[in-house]
Amino acid sequence: MKNTFSSLKNDLPAGVVVFLVALPLCLGISLASGAPFFSGIISGIIGGVVIGSLSGSNLSVSGPAAGLAALVLAAIHNIGDFNLFLCAVLIAGILQMLIGFAKLGGIANYFPSSVIKGMLTSIGILIIAKQIPHAFGYDKDEKGLLTELLPFGDIHEIFHPVGNIDVGVLLMCIISIVIMIVWEKPFIKSKFKFVPGALVAVIASVVINEILKATNNPLTIVQEHLVNVKSASSPAEFFSFFTFPDFNGFLNSKVIITGVMIAIIASLETLLSIEACDNLDPERNVTNTNRELIAQGIGNSVAGLIGGLPVTSVIVRSSANINAGAKTKLSAIFHGLLLLICIILIPGLLNKIPLSALAAILLLTGYKLCKLSVFKQMYNNGKYQFIPFIVTVSVILAIDLFGLHKPIKGEGLLIGVIAGLVAAFGAILHGNLKNSHYFHADKKDDSTHITLHLAEEVSFLNKASIRKKLDEIPENAFVSIDAADTEYIDFDVLELIKEFRDIKAPLKNITCSLIGFKEIYEVDKSHNGSSGH
């Protein structure tokens, strides 16, 4: 680890910041996943210490991800046994390692962003739906508000949470949401930028509830609506809290399918997060995606072996790490050690946190994934983006939220992604897919002049080949990307071209000019002139 010890003054404070962000999220994602709170903390520790040590990224931070919560919740209920579910996590980890060793880390390039955004938007909606019962104080409904509504054919099911409202719980949820929204306002955020609003909401909820309890107020939140983390009185008792997988799961089709689903979605989330993290990295380091998948696979294997939730690289933690000034992976490792110390020394304090405060965190997390502006953005990006997006969202919600297909319950994310991919392929075929580009290189005066002439139709399927060709361009070259004869360029390819021009070309001292791009593509919106030299 280069310059690890010389960067302690940056990494240790950044590790504290990430810990403060991660702690409420680990507990909240456990709640959203229908898993023991101890499992979420275990995964946070593994994400920091194990994956943090093995990852090739200096700034990425891993842990339990909200994006997998809906899948985990349905999988645990569908499999019916947490120990069997852990075997699915182990299978996912093994598959991720195999993907990494097979050097398939570029697999995310073959998934259109419209389908991935559709998956994330659906996850946001599922998180909101499944947290409403906890916001109302109806914690007995572990499967979520609407999940079982249609399969039972009982329209009165939807009124169960409303008829069982705990006023104190609901008020605490509302207060927590208000605190987090206000905390994001510039006049507060600028002064306390390293203090996460989620942590402030959790602390405030604990303090308020303790005051209500001390004054015997009827709005006091009782223990059944609070976090319940196991507390150990000795090291032996602490280690007894770890849960081990039931290896019979390797012979169970439900477990195997769940493991494959976790591997696919966790890998996609990780690769997307790593790409975003690299773009935020002030030093513009490029992470080896194959090594990252191997590290994630080892982390998930460990999680499956000792009772943790699935782990991915998480952009929320990673961006907090970068903004806090981290320099090396020591910050991620340190945050994992702080989580370990926390679960050993202060489980009693964690058990004072209201579930509705965690539900508030998840409700806002879900909202950020599925807010109306996401739908507007995808619609404005054109039919080739919007159709796969809306198909993905519709199929996932039809299966996982309303349970319209009982035999494959819990597999809506995978079915939805497949449906979105089919829609994307159909849209491309409808647009009469052709060769993406013509590549021509000349040597003039000891310099390389390259023309990349784009075809009439350029789809997301061409993204990988164009990326490869651009990455192979030598340093100090002169490159012209010509779209004069192009009628359609996919959104993903446009983003790839702009990324090359604005980020990668300057790093290799490449002069890049874009020719013939239509105004609708807005390639010059945030750029003036050419790159390099």
CB atoms within 10 A of CB 56: 17
pLDDT of residue 391 exceeding 90, the answer is yes
Give the rounded distance of the alpha carbon of 27 from its chain centre.
Answer: 16
Q: Which of 81-85, 113-117, 458-462, 476-480 shows the highest mean pLDDT?
A: 81-85
Neighbour tally for 7: CB within 10 Å: 19
Please, what's the largest Cα pairwise distance for the chain? 86
Residue 81: name the closest of 511, 89, 206 by CA: 89
**CA distance readout (Å), 244 to 182, 212, 224:** 42, 39, 26
Q: Using only the alpha carbons of the chain, give its radius of gyration.
A: 24
Tokens of 55: 């990852």
Length of the chain as a residue count: 533
Backbone CA torsion sign across 258, 263, 269, 273: positive
pLDDT band for position 403 (cuts 50, 70, 90)? low
Q: What is the value of pTM for the model shown?
A: 0.76
In one letter, which amino acid is 50? V
Of 313, 327, 260, 304, the C-alpha closest to 71 is: 260
Residue 95 has pLDDT above 80, yes or no: yes
Q: Single out the residue of 16, 36, 14, 17 nearest to residue 26, CA to CA.
A: 36
pLDDT given for residue 164 in this prediction = 67
The answer to whether residue 144 scores a pLDDT higher than 80 is no
Angle at the Cα of 59 (from 55 to 64), degrees rounded to 5?
70
- What pLDDT is recorded for position 436? 54
pLDDT beyond 90 at 442: no
Distance CA 127, CA 70 (A): 6
What is the C-alpha to C-alpha distance for residues 466 and 475, in angstroms, rounded to an integer? 17
Q: What is the mean pLDDT of the chain?
A: 84
Fold classification of 437-521 (topology level): Transcription Regulator spoIIAA (3.30.750)
Would you state the pLDDT for residue 304? 96
Give 150's pLDDT tier (boundaries 50, 70, 90).
very low
Q: Does the structure show a pLDDT above 80 at 19? A: yes
In the chain, the percentage of residues whose pLDDT exceeds 90 is: 43
Residue 203: in which H helix or E strand, if any? helix 197-214
CA distance 31 to 366: 14
User: Residue 409's pLDDT is what?
Assistant: 45
Mean pLDDT within 269-283: 86
Res. 111: pLDDT tops 60: yes
Q: Provide mean pLDDT across the span 413-440.
A: 73
Could you tell me the residue ranges of all domains in the chain? 22-421, 437-521
Confidence band, pLDDT 50/70/90 cuts, at residue 468: confident
d(CA 12, CA 143): 39
Provide the 10 A C-beta neighbour count for residue 194.
14
pLDDT average, residue stretch 278-288: 85
Averaged pLDDT for residues 25-30: 92
483 compared with 302, residue with greater pLDDT: 302
Region of poorest pLDDT, from 141-155, 236-250, 393-407, 510-524: 141-155
Strands 447-454 and 478-482: parallel
pLDDT of the residue at 444: 62
Confidence of residue 438 (pLDDT cuts 50, 70, 90): low
- pLDDT band with cut points at 50, 70 and 90 for residue 500: very high
Q: Evaluate if residue 364 carries a pLDDT over 80.
A: yes
pLDDT at residue 526, as a whole number: 52
Is residue 219's pLDDT more than 60?
A: yes
Tens digit of each residue's pLDDT (9 = 90 or more) over 30-72 = 988 889 999 999 999 999 999 999 998 989 999 998 888 888 9
Nearest-angstrom CA–CA distance, 243 and 224:
23
Provide the pLDDT for residue 138: 73
Q: From residue 9, how far is each of 3, 14, 147, 182, 405 by CA, in Å?
A: 12, 9, 48, 31, 54
How is residue 500 annotated by DSSP? I
Task: For the chain, give the percent of residues with pLDDT over 70.
Answer: 87
At residue 218, the pLDDT reads 92
